[in-house]
Amino acid sequence: MKLLVTGGCGFIGSTFVRMALARGHEVVNVDKLTYAGNPANVAEVADDPKYHFVHADIADAPAMADALTGVDAVVNMAAESHVDRSILDPAAFPMTDVVGTAVILDQSRRAGVGRFVQVSTDEVYGSIPVGLFRETDPLNPSSPYSASKAGGDLQALAWHHTYGMDVVVTRGSNTYGPRQYPEKLIPLFVTNALDGEQLPVYGDGQQIRDWIHVEDHCSGVFAALEHGIAGEVYNVGGGNERTNLEITERILEYTNRDASLIRYVEDRLGHDRRYALATEKLSLLGWSAAVDFGTGLTDTVTWYRDNRAWWEPIKSGEYRAYYDEQYGQR
């Protein structure tokens, strides 16, 4: 297939691009290269004759019309993706996650694309104190990020309902692994711990997330792309619930640091307490998560330890200003 992947210079997108090429697909990577987009994430495939890069915004209709020529399927991963940034600067989020999604959906429809996969998040369901979210549960997003993602998710389903477009939506859980921008919990705490810096735990640290390795998240998106039913939603969860404090303690252990690095800070505004997903529907397509959490997390710590040249330049410049604004007064 000729696949158009958006956000292919980001964390999950770059993993997906590498996996798609390894599976023999041709890949057009459309990326705006925001602060989170890093060409180094796809450097090893840049010279592959089946790989093409288009530097563009998914909200740019003429650019999308051009990029979509001859494309069989679209996987829309491009997004503003960080909850904390959405609390500091909410207006940027609907521009990509809602408007951009509408533009690329519509250009894909006009181009006659065979299948459109909208990569969404479990955060669109909101928080769940006990039990698991199913695909039929109502959306109840809490943050500006998750509200914007819910907007994109619903539009994708509306394009199926209204135009009969072949659309599938995936709702993935918290993802970890190499090349994740060091603003999210795991890469931030791993890189801070490696540098002997404090780990800012929000509130009581008892919030729960369902962690999935990036390769398992991507194989879930492939399952939905290849075998999903048009108009359906598929949860992609790791079945691996951990409190933030458990994650913090493991990171301290794997980096040979102690609990003196933990700093409890003021909680995030509107902080969701727990996310958890039922994944039977995706399992029926033949998917299962393959990476054991302990192995995945130690490998991730090793990757950050061995790849300082990847993250040290990121953690200067613009990032420093963000970090001071986010954590300075906490």
Catalytic: 97?
A: no
* Partner interacting with residue 188 (select from ligand TYD, ligand NAD, none; CB below 5-8 Å by kind): ligand TYD
Considering only the stretches 1-9, 107-115, 194-202, 256-264, report the one whose residues sit in contact with ligand TYD under the rule CB under 6 A: 194-202
Residue 26 interacting with ligand NAD (CB under 6 A): no
Count of residues making up the chain: 330
**Catalytic-role residue among 123, 210, 215, 272:** 123
Q: Phi/psi at 327 (nearest 5 deg)?
A: -115, -15
User: What angle do the packed helices 293-306 and 244-254 form, to 10 degrees?
Assistant: 50
Neighbours of 38 (CB within 10 A): 21
Going from the C-alpha of 41 to that of each of 8, 12, 14, 154, the distances in angstroms are 8, 10, 6, 30
- Pattern 259-278, binding to ligand TYD, x per CB under 6 A? ---------x----------
Report the greatest alpha carbon distance in the chain: 57
Catalytic: 123?
A: yes
We find the least distance from the C-beta atom of residue 45 to ligand TYD, in angstroms, to be: 26
Residue 119 interacting with ligand TYD (CB under 6 A): no
CA gap 125, 102 in Å, rounded: 21
3-state secondary structure of 202: strand
* Partner interacting with residue 172 (select from ligand NAD, ligand TYD, none; CB below 5-8 Å by kind): ligand NAD
CA gap 28, 6 in Å, rounded: 8
Going from the C-alpha of 155 to that of each of 101, 108, 136, the distances in angstroms are 8, 13, 16
We find the least distance from the C-beta atom of residue 174 to ligand TYD, in angstroms, to be: 5
Exposure of 95 in the CB half-sphere (CA atoms within 13 A): 10
What is the total count of residues that contact ligand NAD (CB under 6 A)?
31
Residue 323 interacting with ligand TYD (CB under 6 A): no
**Catalytic-role residue among 57, 97, 122, 166:** 122
DSSP string, 229-279: PTT-EEEE--S-EEEHHHHHHHHHHHTT--GGGEEEEPPPTT---B--B--
Catalytic: 197?
A: no
* Partner interacting with residue 78 (select from ligand TYD, ligand NAD, none; CB below 5-8 Å by kind): ligand NAD
Applying the rule CB under 6 A, the residues between 174 and 193 that interact with ligand TYD are 174, 184-185, 188
Residue 188 interacting with ligand NAD (CB under 6 A): no
The separation between the first and the last C-alpha atoms of the chain, rounded to the nearest angstrom, is: 49
Applying the rule CB under 6 A, the residues between 147 and 186 that interact with ligand NAD are 149, 172, 174-175, 181
Report the Cα 183 to chain-centroid distance in Å.
Answer: 13
CB closer to ligand NAD, 60 vs 264 = 60
Asked if 187 and 199 touch (Cβ cutoff 8 Å), the reply is no
CB closer to ligand NAD, 221 vs 261 = 221
CB closer to ligand NAD, 170 vs 255 = 170
| Interface with ligand TYD (CB under 6 A) | 83-84, 123, 174, 184-185, 188, 200-202, 207, 209, 244, 268
Q: Which residues bind to ligand NAD, rule: CB under 6 A?
A: 6-7, 9-13, 30-34, 36-37, 57-59, 77-81, 96, 100, 119, 121, 149, 172, 174-175, 181
